[in-house]
Amino acid sequence: MVPVARRNLFAEKGRFAISICGVAFAVLLVLVVLALYRGFSRTGETFELLPGSLWIAQTGTTDPFHSESLVQAADIESARDVAGVAAVVPVLVRQMAFSVEDHDLSARLMALDVPAGLPVDDKIRARYLPQRGVLVIDRILADKEGLREGDVARLGAVQLRIGKVQPRSAEAFEPFAFLSYEDARRVFGLEDIVNFGMVMLLPGADETAVAAALEARLPGTQVFTRLEFATAIRKEIDESFLPIIGILVAIGFTVGAAVVGLTIYTATIERSREFGVMKAVGASAVFLYRIVASQSAMLTSAGFLLGLVAALVVARLAREAVPDFATEFRSLDIAGVLVGTVVMAFAASLIPVRRINAIDPALVFRA
C-alpha cells in the first residue's frame, strides 16, 4: 500500500515536527506528574517495608508524622504474651535537628530494638538496623544537604557516622534517618517510654484477632495494621495531591489531543481536494479513515516516544536541581499513558473523519 499518511505528514515537515513536540509536551507533562505522584505516594512505605504486621500506638494517635505517641515500655513487654505474637519491637521516633559539618538539618530519627535472635532479612537490617555509632540516611536527605558516607553527624552530645546512603527514598516529605536503639536512647534521653511497638506475628496468626487482643490487653493504646498506618500517612497526599494530579493529567491529554486533532484537521482541510479525488476514484470511507487514523497514530506514537525520553531526562535534571523532586516511573503508568495516547489519537482523528465524510467528490471537477 502507498504510505499516504506518511507522505502527507512529511510533506509538511515543519508542522509535523511542531506537532510531535506538542504531543511530546503533553506526554511529558502527564508522565512527570504521574511519576511525581508515585514518588510522593511512597510516603509511608517505610512502615510497609518494616517486618511488623501491627503497630501499637498511644490512643488518639493519627499517624507517626502528625501526632506523638508515647507508650510505656512495660506495656510493650507485656504485649509479647498475647497469643499469636512472635515478637514486639520497641520503636523510638522523633523529629530532631542535628548538624553535619557546618550544616544544620532536621530529620525524623527512628530506631528499632530488634532482639538479636529475631530473623530479619539482611536488606532490612542494612537499611533500618544500623550498628551503634552509625546513621543511615536516604538519598533525598543526602542530596539536599550534600551529605556523604563517612560524614559525622552531631546529635546533641552524641556523634554518629553516616554509614550508608540509601539510594531509594521512601519518604519524600519526611526524610528518615535510622540509628541503633542504644544510640536513640542516648540521643532522646528516654528510659521507660517508647513511641511505638512493632508487632511481628507467628505464622498463621489472625491479624485482626491479635490486634483486638492487644487493645484489650493494653488500655490506652490502639493498634494499627501495617496498611492502616501507611494509608493514614498517605491520606494527606492522596487528598491534596491526587485531585491536582488528575487535573494536570487531564490538561496534558487535552493539550495532546488538541495538537493532534488540529494538525490532522488542518492537514485534512488542506488536502480536501486530494481526499475528494480519492473519493471520486472509488476510495471507501474505511480506506480514507485508515489514512487519517494512520496520520494520527504516527504523530502520537512519535510524540509519545519523544515525550517518554524527555520525561526521563527532565525528571533526572529536576532531581539534580531539587532533591525533593521524588519521581518514580512505573511501567504500568507508562503503558497507561501509551494507551491514553492511542485513545487520544483515535479521538483526534474523529473530527477530520467527519470532515472527510462531508467532502463532496464532485468538487474535483471544479477548476
Positions in the binding site for other proteins (CB under 8 A): 1-2, 4, 7-8, 10-11, 271, 273-274, 277-284, 287, 361-362, 364-365, 367
Q: In the complex with other proteins, which residue's Cβ is closer, 180 or 263?
A: 263
DSSP conformation letters of 27-54: HHHHHHHHHHHHHHHTTTHHHHHSS-SE
Q: How far apart are CA 110 and CA 198, in angstroms?
A: 12
- What's the grid cell of residue 163? 554509614
One-letter identity of residue 350: L
| 249 vs 267, beta carbon nearer other proteins | 267
Nearer to other proteins, 117 or 365 (CB): 365
Burial class of 97 by CB neighbour count within 10 A (0 to 12, 13 to 18, 19+):
exposed
CA distances from 33 to 175, 236, 245, 333 (A): 21, 17, 6, 11
Please state the closest distance from residue 358 (CB atom) to other proteins, in A: 13
Tell me the closest approach of the beta carbon of residue 287 to other proteins, in angstroms: 6
DSSP-assigned beta bridge partners for residue 178: 110, 136
**CB-nearer residue toward other proteins: 5 or 109:** 5
Q: Give the H or E element holding residue 71.
A: strand 71-72
Which cell numbers in the block locate residue 228? Answer: 492502616
Comparison of 13 and 123: residue with beta carbon closer to other proteins: 13
| Pure H helices in 96-160 | 122-128, 139-145
By beta-carbon proximity to other proteins, the closer residue of 70 and 269 is: 269
Contact (CB, 8 A) for 146 and 22: no
> Which residue, chain included where needed, has cell 546529635?
155
Residue 274 C-beta: closest distance to other proteins, Å: 5
* Residue placing its CB nearer to other proteins in the complex, 1 or 321: 1
CB 251 → other proteins: shortest distance, Å? Answer: 33
**Assigned C-alpha cell, 41:** 505516594
Residue 290 CB, nearest approach to other proteins (Å): 11
Nearby residues of 74 by Cβ (< 8 Å), 6 or more positions away: 192
